[in-house]
Amino acid sequence: MASLNSHSKDLSSFWNGKILWDIPMSQYSTLKVGGPAEAIISVANVEDLKRLVHWLKENDISWWIIGRGSNILVPDRGLSGVTIVLEGEFVGLEKIENQPGQKDKTALIRAGGGCLLSKAVHFCTANSLSGLEFAVGIPGSIGGAVIMNAGAWNNEIGNLLASATLMNNHGKVFTELGQNLGFTYRGWGIEPNTILLDATLVLAIGIKDEIKAACNRYLELRKKNQPLRESSAGSFFKNPPELSAGRLIDEAGLKGHLIGGAKVSEKHANFIINTGNATATDILNLMHFVQDTVYKHSGIRLEPEVHILGNEG
Active site members = 186, 235, 305
The alpha carbon of residue 18 and the mean position of all alpha carbons in its chain are separated, in whole angstroms, by 24
State how far the Cα of 5 lies from the Cα of 16, in Å rounded to an integer: 18
Q: Which of 228, 250, 257, 248 is nearest to 298 (CA)?
A: 248
State how far the Cα of 234 lies from the Cα of 270, in Å rounded to an integer: 8
**What number of residues does the chain have?**
313
State how far the Cα of 107 lies from the Cα of 129, in Å rounded to an integer: 7
State how far the Cα of 131 lies from the Cα of 205, in Å rounded to an integer: 9
Please enumerate in sequence order all residues whose Cβ is within 8 A of that of 138, keeping only pairs 6 or more positions apart, or say none.
70, 117, 118, 145, 150, 152, 234
Q: How many CB atoms lie within 10 A of CB 213?
A: 12
278-to-31, 254, 270, 271 alpha-carbon distances in Å: 9, 18, 17, 14
CB 14 within 8 A of CB 53: no
